[in-house]
Amino acid sequence: MQTVPENRKVSPSLVFFTIHGMQFGIGILGFQRAIAKIAGYDSWMSVIFAGIMTMLVMWIIYKILAFGETDLAGTHQFVFGKWLGGACNLLFVFYFILYATTILRSYTEIIQVWVFNDLNVFIFTLIYLLLCVYIVFGGFRTVVGMMFFSVVLPSYLIILFGFTLPYANFHNFLPLFDHSVKEIILAGHQMSLTYIGFESFLIYSPFIKDHNKSKKWAFLALTTSLLLFLYTAILSFAYYNEAQLLKYIWATLSTWKIVHLPVVERFEYIGIANWCLIILPNTALALWCGSRLLKQTFKLSQRKGVIILSLIPLIVVPFFKTRYQIEHLNYVFGKAGFLINYLYIPFLLILVWLAKKYKR
């Protein structure tokens, strides 16, 4: 496996921004409805459960890398061989294409519903993907730099959730444990779409100067994501009654309607515009990971790979027109993310361990 030059690597502390930035994307705008359908007001416990499971998978990822392979492609080749390992790489390439497609179509739907009803989806997607390709052309360090700004600059939006406190009714959470453990676990399963993204660490780990030192930053990022999702869920559950939670598709956006400032009347427009900066590096990193796997599998230059991969969302995104189609796209992506993170990656650890033991 070709080693990465030191001047192309980033500091271990920046892993915090890559992992948290990938998780804090489009999912936080409307995850409340999905989990409340199953566990009601008890679904705040599902947020904690899903976050703990995410940390467990992250621990497994570090264990896989500790066996000596630098990244996912190297691990696949070691376990499955050249051809079958290449086929597994392709599955992850399609997964990252699905990631980019889902983010783009979900965000364009929000713009269509809240801001511009007659938005040309194809033109917006084209411009957005051109920006993503331009970022990826700058290299991994440029992608990480954009991820840093996507976390730091819009962080003020977190404070705005506090505007719901004067209208909050925390008696909504009573009685506690009103749902079964099974329902809480199933609601945690619905959090897959919100928490996924951290698995990309398997692809870009060779670009971290010392990924062992990055472990504390990775778990700090996962803890921060968990606390932010929990904070958002509790304030949303206290603000809305259960019928409203099931009605609002984007509960987070709807809470911004109550924010009134002297200089702006409709603050949700500001929030939606700021969210563009949040999901831009998400899409760019997904395309970078997919093109990186293409380069390792087919020896295709990463610049050509990212252009090829960008064409797929550009063609596919405009075909999703209705709410049902977009919701189904999110459902498929959530299932794919769940299978990869919580089933395939633990299974891969077992295979790596067996392969190491057998080859010795």
Calculate the average pLDDT of the chain. 88
- Cβ atoms 336, 95 nearer than 8 A: yes
Please indicate whether residue 77 or residue 260 has the higher confidence score (pLDDT).
77
User: Could you tell me how many residues make up the chain?
Assistant: 360
Q: Is residue 40 part of a domain?
A: yes
On whether residue 260 sits in a domain, the answer given is: yes
Q: Are 18 and 144 in contact (CB under 8 A)?
A: yes
Amino acid residing at 260: H
Distance CA 171, CA 73 (A): 50
Phi, psi (deg, nearest 5) at residue 67: -75, -5
Residue 297 · residue 86 · CB < 8 Å: yes
In the three-class reduction of DSSP (H, G, I as helix; E, B as strand; rest coil), residue 314 is classed as: helix
Give the per-residue SS3 of 178-223.
CCCHHHHHHHHHCCHHHHCCHHHHHHHHHHECCCCCCHHHHHHHHH
Residue where the block lists tokens 């796997």: 293
Q: Which CATH number do you get for residue 295? A: 1.20.1740.10
User: Residue 250's closest CA among 180, 305, 326?
Assistant: 326
Q: Which residues neighbour 323 within 8 Å (Cβ) at sequence distance 6 or greater?
A: 109, 249
With 0-12 CB in 10 A as exposed, 13-18 as middle and 19+ as buried, what is 48?
middle
Give the DSSP per-residue string, 265-290. S-HHHHHHHHHHHHHHHHHHHHHHHH
Residue 257 inside a domain? The answer is yes
Give me the domain span that covers residue 193.
6-322
Phi and psi of 71, rounded to 5°?
Answer: -155, -175
Q: What is the mean pLDDT of residues 329-349?
A: 92
**What's the pTM value of the predicted model, to 2 decimals?**
0.93
Q: What is the pLDDT of residues 317-335, one digit of tens each?
A: 999 988 899 999 988 998 9
Lookup result for tokens 């699905």: 98
- Residue 231 located in a structural domain: yes
In a domain, 353, yes or no: no
User: Above 70 in pLDDT, residue 2?
Assistant: no
β partners of residue 10? 208
What pLDDT, on the 0 to 100 scale, is given for residue 266? 76
Q: Is residue 210 part of a domain?
A: yes
First-to-last alpha carbon distance for the chain, in angstroms, is: 20
What is the tens place of the pLDDT at every residue in 213-258? 899 999 999 999 999 999 988 888 888 888 888 888 888 888 888 8
- Among 86-95, 140-149, 165-174, 277-286, the minimum mean pLDDT is found in 165-174
How far apart CA 194 and CA 192 sit, in angstroms, is: 5
Q: Between the CA of residue 47 and those of 50, 136, 189, what are the distances in Å? A: 5, 32, 9
- Give me the phi and psi of 208, to 5 degrees please: -95, 135
Q: Is residue 67 part of a domain?
A: yes
Q: At what angle do helices 31-39 and 215-239 cross, to 10 degrees?
A: 70
With contact defined as beta carbons under 8 Å apart, do 48 and 179 qualify? no
- Number of structural domains the chain divides into: 1
CB atoms within 10 A of CB 33: 18
How many CA atoms does the CB half-sphere of 242 hold within 13 Å? 13
Flag whether pLDDT at 56 surpasses 90. Answer: yes
345 falls within a domain = no
Does the structure show a pLDDT above 70 at 158?
Answer: yes
